[in-house]
Amino acid sequence: MVSVCFYFQVHQPFRVRKYRVFDIGSPNYFSYEGESNLNNKLVLEKVARKCYIPANKLLLKLLRKHEKFKVSFSLSGVVIEQFERFFPEVLDSFKELVKTGKVELLGETYYHSLAFLKSRREFVRQVKKHERKLWQVFKIKPQVFRNTELIYNNELARVAGELGYSGVLAEGHEKILGWRSPNFVYSPAGAKRIKLLLKNYKLSDDIAFRFSERSWSEWPLTASKFSAWVSALNGNADTVNLFMDYETFGEHQWQSTGIFEFLESLPKELLKHPDNDFKTPSEVIASYPARDTIDAPYFISWADIERDLSAWLGNKMQLAALNSLYSLEQDVMQTRDEALIDSWAKLQTSDHFYYMCTKWFSDGDVHKYFNPYESPYDAFINFMNVLNDLKARIDDKLKRRKLLNDNKHL
Amino acid sequence: MRVLMFGWEFPPYNSGGLGTACKGLAKALAKKGAKIFFVMPRKVDVDADYLEFIFADKSKHFVVNSLLTPYSSVQSYAERYIEEKTSNSLYGQDLFEEIERYARVAESIASSVDFDVIHAHDWMTFKAACRAKKVSKKKLVVHVHATEFDRTGGNGFNAKVYEIEKQGLEEADKVIAVSNYTKRKIIEVYGIPEEKICVAHNGVEFENVCLERAHKLKEKNKIVLFVGRLTLQKGPDYFIYAAKKVLELKPNTIFLVAGSGDMECFLINKVAEMGIADRVLFTGFLRGRELSRAYAMADVYVMPSVSEPFGISPLEALTHQTPVLISKQSGVSEVLRHCLKADFWDIDEIANKIIAMLSFPELGDCMLENSQEELPKITWEKTAEKCMEVYSSLKW
Q: Convert the pLDDT of each residue in B20-75 to its tens digit.
A: 899 999 999 999 999 999 998 777 788 788 888 887 554 344 444 444 555 555 55
Structural domain contains residue A152: yes
Give the side-chain half-sphere CA count within 13 A for A297: 0
Answer whether A360 sits within 8 Å of B337, measured CB to CB.
Answer: yes
Structural domain contains residue A217: yes
User: Going by C-beta distance under 8 Å and a sequence separation of 6 or more, which residues neighbour residue A396?
Assistant: none
Say if residue B178's pLDDT is above 90: yes
On whether both A402 and A343 belong to a single domain, the answer is yes
Q: How confident is the model at residue A359 (pLDDT cuts 50, 70, 90)?
A: confident
Q: How confident is the model at residue A305 (pLDDT cuts 50, 70, 90)?
A: confident
CA separation for the pair A55, A249 (Å, rounded): 7
Structural domain contains residue A325: yes
Selection from A313-322, B110-119, B285-294 with the highest mean pLDDT: A313-322
On whether both A259 and A290 belong to a single domain, the answer is yes
Mutation test of the interface with chain B: which of A18, A19, A21, A386, choosing the one with the most B Cβ atoms within 10 A? Answer: A21
Average pLDDT over residues B99-113: 85
A149 belongs to the catalytic site? yes
Say if residue B215's pLDDT is above 90: no
Nearest Cα to B38, choosing from B24, B27, B52, B28? B52
Say if residue B189's pLDDT is above 60: yes
Please count the helices (runs of H) and the strands (runs of E) in chain A.
Answer: 19, 12
On whether both A266 and A315 belong to a single domain, the answer is no
Return the HEC string of chain B: CEEEEECCCECCECCCHHHHHHHHHHHHHHHCCCEEEEECCCCCCCCCCCCEEECCCCCCCCCCCCCCCCCCCHHHHHHHHHHHHCCCCCCCCCHHHHHHHHHHHHHHHHHHCCCCEEEEECHHHHHHHHHHHHHHCCEEEEEECCCHHHHHCCCCCCHHHHHHHHHHHHHCCEEEECCHHHHHHHHHHHCCCHHHEEECCCCCCCCCCCCCCCCHHHHCCEEEEEECCCCHHHCHHHHHHHHHHHHHHCCCEEEEEECCCCCHHHHHHHHHHCCCCCCEEEEECCCHHHHHHHHHHCCEEEECCCCECCCCHHHHHHHCCCCEEEECCECHHHCCCCCEEECCCCHHHHHHHHHHHHHCHHHHHHHHHHHHHHHHHCCHHHHHHHHHHHHHHCCC
> What's chain B's length in residues?
396
Tens-place pLDDT, residues A137-171: 999 999 999 999 999 999 999 999 999 999 999 99
On whether both A283 and A334 belong to a single domain, the answer is no
Structural domain contains residue A252: yes
B249: chain A residues, CB-CB within 8 Å: 21
Say if residue B162's pLDDT is above 70: yes
Nearest Cα to A76, choosing from A294, A345, A328? A345
Q: What is the pLDDT of residue B216?
A: 86
User: What percentage of chain B reaches a pLDDT higher than 70?
Assistant: 89
Torsion of CA B331, B335, B339, B341, to 10 degrees: 30
Answer whether A380 sits within 8 Å of B363, measured CB to CB.
Answer: yes
DSSP A250: E
Say if residue B85's pLDDT is above 50: no
Tens-place pLDDT, residues A96-119: 999 999 999 999 999 999 999 999
Tens-place pLDDT, residues B244-302: 999 999 999 999 999 999 999 999 999 999 999 999 999 999 988 899 999 999 999 99
Last residue of a domain, one of A260, A294, A328: A294
Q: What is the pLDDT of residue B252?
A: 97
Q: If contacts are CB pairs under 8 Å, which of residues 294-323 in chain A contact chain B?
A: 315-317, 319-320
Beta-bridged to residue B258, according to DSSP, are: B227, B284
Tens-place pLDDT, residues A196-217: 999 999 999 999 999 999 999 9
DSSP A34: S
CA separation for the pair B152, B306 (Å, rounded): 9
Q: How confident is the model at residue B103 (pLDDT cuts 50, 70, 90)?
A: confident
On whether both A254 and A366 belong to a single domain, the answer is no
Answer whether A21 sits within 8 Å of B369, measured CB to CB.
Answer: no
On whether both A286 and A329 belong to a single domain, the answer is no
Average pLDDT over residues B116-123: 96
Q: Work out the mean pLDDT of chain A and round it to a whole number.
A: 95
Beta-bridged to residue A8, according to DSSP, are: A73, A244
Structural domain contains residue A300: no
On whether both A172 and A122 belong to a single domain, the answer is yes
Three-state DSSP class for residue A12? coil
CATH code at A196? 3.20.110.20
Residue of A81, A108, A122, A149 marked catalytic = A149
Structural domain contains residue A55: yes
CA separation for the pair B339, B281 (Å, rounded): 24
Whether residue B247 lies within 8 A of chain A, CB to CB, comes out as no
Three-state DSSP class for residue A74? strand
Structural domain contains residue A164: yes
Structural domain contains residue A304: no
DSSP A295: -
User: Going by C-beta distance under 8 Å and a sequence separation of 6 or more, which residues neighbour residue B180?
Assistant: B199, B331, B334
Residue pair B68/B95 in contact by the 8 Å Cβ criterion: yes
On whether both A337 and A244 belong to a single domain, the answer is no
On whether both A271 and A378 belong to a single domain, the answer is no
Q: What is the pLDDT of residue B69?
A: 54
Tens-place pLDDT, residues A241-276: 999 999 999 999 999 999 999 999 999 999 999 999
Q: What is the pLDDT of residue B257?
A: 98
Average pLDDT over residues A1-27: 96
Last residue of a domain, one of A294, A324, A349: A294
Average pLDDT over residues A30-45: 92
- Overall number of domains in chain A: 2
Say if residue B82's pLDDT is above 70: no
Q: What is the pLDDT of residue B72?
A: 53
pTM: 0.90
Question: What are φ and ψ of residue A227, in 5° steps?
Answer: -65, -35
- Asked if the bond preceding A376 is cis, omega within 30° of 0, the reply is no
CA gyration radius, chain A = 22
Three-state DSSP class for residue A395? helix
Q: What is the distance in angstroms between the Cα of B366 and the nearest Cα belonging to chain A?
A: 6
Answer whether B362 sits within 8 Å of A316, measured CB to CB.
Answer: yes
Q: How confident is the model at residue A88 (pLDDT cuts 50, 70, 90)?
A: very high
Domains of chain B, with CATH numbers?
Answer: 2-202+379-393 (3.40.50.2000), 216-377 (3.40.50.2000)
Whether residue B266 lies within 8 A of chain A, CB to CB, comes out as no
CA separation for the pair B290, B297 (Å, rounded): 11
Q: What is the pLDDT of residue A408?
A: 80
On whether both A29 and A141 belong to a single domain, the answer is yes
On whether both A248 and A348 belong to a single domain, the answer is no
Tens-place pLDDT, residues A113-130: 999 999 999 999 999 999
On whether both A64 and A131 belong to a single domain, the answer is yes
B360: chain A residues, CB-CB within 8 Å: 317, 320, 380-381, 384
Give the residue, B101 or A405, on which the prediction is more confident: A405
Domain of A323? 310-409
Average pLDDT over residues A299-315: 94
Answer whether A317 sits within 8 Å of B341, measured CB to CB.
Answer: no
Tens-place pLDDT, residues B249-261: 999 999 999 999 9
Selection from A278-287, A355-364, B111-120, B368-377 with the highest mean pLDDT: A278-287
Answer whether B348 sits within 8 Å of A22, measured CB to CB.
Answer: yes
